[in-house]
Amino acid sequence: MNITKSLVWLVFLFSFVNVSAQENAELDSIVEAFEIKVEPIELIHHPIQKHFSFSQNKLEINQSSRELAATFDDPSRVLYRHTGISIANDQNNSIVYRGLPSEFVKWSIDGAEIINPNHLSNAGRLSDQSSPSAGGVLAIPFEVVNKFSFYGNAYGPEQINSVSAVSDFNFDIDGNNFFKVGLLGMEAGFQTKGKVKVKGNFRYSTVGLLSDFGVNFDGESIKFYDGFVKADITDKISFVGVAGNSTNFHESLTNIEDATQLKDLQEIDFESKFFIAGIKYKGEKYNHSFFVSQRNSNRTSRLDESLFQSPEISSFESFSRNIEKYSYNGYRKLKMGEGDLNVGMQFLLFYSELASENFESLNENNGNVKVYANYKYLTNLGDVNFKIEPGLAIVHIDNFNFNPSLFAQISYDKFLLDFNYACKNVQKEFNQIGGISRDSDLVESYSISLKYQLPKQKFSINTRMFYLKTQTLNYLLQSILNGTNKLGEGYDFNDLSLRDESQIDSKGIELMIDKSWSGGWYAHANATFFDAQYSNLTFSNIEVNTNENFKSIYNFVFTKEFYSKRNNKWVVNLAYHQRGGAYQNTYDWIEGTFVERRLSAYYRIDARFQYNWNSKNTLTLDIQNLTNNLNDAYYFYDAYLNKEVLQKQLGTIPILSYKRVF
């Protein structure tokens, strides 16, 4: 795909739409005087509401959310404290939502789709290959995030279509001048004043810096760095640019007697670089977002055959995953009758390539267009309030598809009841497998919720039932393409079993209780019980658990805030996360049978101690896995040991950091 030509088209389209917006500015000012804004009927679901805002299936996180334990200033790690969400591995920030693979989560900025914005995208992967959706460190600093919104199905047509969920960023926040140093990395930010405001943020990993000075970390050198710039050209037009690079180099041992596994004898070099650039227009009636994003990830592995030779492992392996996205999201606000109508359009052009020494490259050059309308109407009958939001999207991928959605809400006294439904067609990453064109994934999802809350947000109870069904790529093919199973087994992409559709069903119930006391004490507990399975598989006539079908997720969060005589602030947060064991599903190509195995249950206690003084200094100790519990990660076969090995997850990780605002 010609990037220069695509950028020219994006600039032309932005100019055309923006001129149209300016021509309607006078009409907008007249209509605005008569506009009645429809606000959602929403009760705060958390007494620690500064950390979370939860409505429908949308979870919103803001700056203060970082006070929760083991977030490491990563908004996606804050999500683990909520219902229905867990992780695939301690080493990365993968988002497992209601038992669906993290690969089904998409990312966007102000509604425009972008590539995976994470460093070290191979971290915690069984295959050690690049992930399409997760990584070891989010490459967008928490410091620049105004809102991080997580939209779980079912949600309205104004967001991009995803099988599982959408993680959306908004950067409309003033920054400050600061410097931060810690065990994870060094970071600095600035904010200018005046008509043109510029906000910048730059990071470099501490481990990478120490590696540059010759410090050895068991033969591994891990580095990452990134830069963020946002320029508010006017009060309506802004530019956003993000770029970064991450590397992980593993040095091989020269003496086979010192090796304890095959990896010790391998020289492994992983590098991933990305950039995201876009322009945004935010007016009274019009909103437009254009973004171009690109990621290139490469991994090579070399094995000295004079030290070890095996027919089951190649002396040289290479893997690359490259993707480019060009996206737009825009909508127009209208007044219609007693409600508000949003009419919008989205389009996506993308190029994707998956290549390896072990199979022929898979390439895709495709795109989709969506036009949508969402109507919001709010009324009341005495003490009962009603809100309804019907929506409709027309999506063109291989052909035209109609995607309806509905949100309805009733509130009375201290009770809130809502219902959500959505039907979506989702673009596949690879539409051509074995020379045969594939249709889009079709997702249908429902949820119904009941909320009860006492006055002043002192105590609240919330429960939500959900169901999702999707027709998607065959489970085995999805596993191969996204590297959850080891590549290099000689897969034949012309195999019919890889081209068949399969169905995923995810259903369950979520429960949440909040309690706050005087003196800065807060407590939160939630539980999720669910079941997520594949069915209609060619290679098996039984239902198969998704790898992430944990069956249950539990969270307990305790927070204490108190102030000293000099008004300095202490925050202590303890968090407990537990989930059922993950499944490790494999297909035996020789025997032609499917093998399903479950790992042991997972649990972890995290802690955070934060001290703020003089309004400018913050000292933080963030501890992941306080009790050093080594949970199961996955089984893998090690050719050097000639046996199967159970890989454990991470132990205790303390991260100390200091921040100074100027």
Secondary structure of residue 509 in the 3-state scheme: strand
The CA-based angle 643-646-649, given to 5 degrees, is: 150
Element (H, E) at 362: strand 359-381
Q: For 23, what's the count of Cα atoms within 13 Å in the CB-facing half-sphere?
A: 6
Confidence of residue 21 (pLDDT cuts 50, 70, 90): very low
Q: What is the 3-state secondary structure (H, E, C) of 390-423?
A: EEEEEEECCCEEEEEEEEEEEEECCEEEEEEEEE
pLDDT score of 499 more than 70? no
CB 372 within 8 Å of CB 401: no
Which pLDDT belongs to residue 432?
Answer: 58
Which pLDDT belongs to residue 34?
Answer: 32
pLDDT score of 633 more than 90? yes
DSSP letter string over 437-496?
E-PPEEEEEEEEEEEEE-GGGSEEEEEEEEEEEEEEE-HHHHHHHTTSS-S-S---TT-G
CB 527 within 8 Å of CB 468: no
More confident residue, 195 or 620: 620
More confident residue, 509 or 453: 509
Confidence of residue 420 (pLDDT cuts 50, 70, 90): very high
The model's pLDDT over 214-263, given as tens digits with 9 standing for 90+, comes to: 666 667 888 999 999 999 999 999 999 999 999 999 999 988 988 999 99
pLDDT score of 159 more than 50? yes
- Maximum average pLDDT range among 33-47, 462-476, 648-662: 648-662
User: Cα dist. 510→82, 98, 437, 462, 518 in Å?
Assistant: 10, 10, 38, 8, 27
**What mean pLDDT do residues 103-116 have?**
96
pLDDT score of 460 more than 90? no
Which pLDDT belongs to residue 15?
Answer: 44
The model's pLDDT over 124-147, given as tens digits with 9 standing for 90+, comes to: 888 888 888 999 999 999 999 999
Determine what percent of the chain is predicted with pLDDT higher than 90. 53
pTM: 0.90
Which pLDDT belongs to residue 527?
Answer: 96
What is the chain's length?
662
Cα(344)–Cα(289) distance, rounded to whole angstroms? 11
Cα(458)–Cα(521) distance, rounded to whole angstroms? 11
- The CB density around residue 103, as the number of other CB atoms within 10 Å, is 22
Q: Domain boundaries in the chain? A: 3-661
Cα(372)–Cα(347) distance, rounded to whole angstroms? 11
pLDDT score of 43 more than 60? no
Q: Which residue has the tokens 């290959």?
A: 129
- Maximum average pLDDT range among 16-25, 305-314, 547-556: 547-556
pLDDT score of 299 more than 90? yes
Confidence of residue 502 (pLDDT cuts 50, 70, 90): confident
Please name the CATH architecture into which domain 3-661 falls. Beta Barrel (2.40)
**What mean pLDDT do residues 359-366 have?**
82
**What mean pLDDT do residues 496-502 have?**
64
Determine what percent of the chain is predicted with pLDDT higher than 70. 84
- Count of H-run helices and E-run strands, the chain: 5, 39
Q: Which residue has the tokens 């020789």?
A: 590
Residue 98 contacts by C-beta under 8 Å, 6 or more apart in sequence? Answer: 84, 152, 164, 466, 468, 506, 508, 528, 530, 532
**What mean pLDDT do residues 428-445 have?**
74
Which pLDDT belongs to residue 522?
Answer: 85
Which pLDDT belongs to residue 399?
Answer: 87
The model's pLDDT over 560-609, given as tens digits with 9 standing for 90+, comes to: 888 888 889 999 999 999 999 999 877 666 666 677 889 999 999 999 99
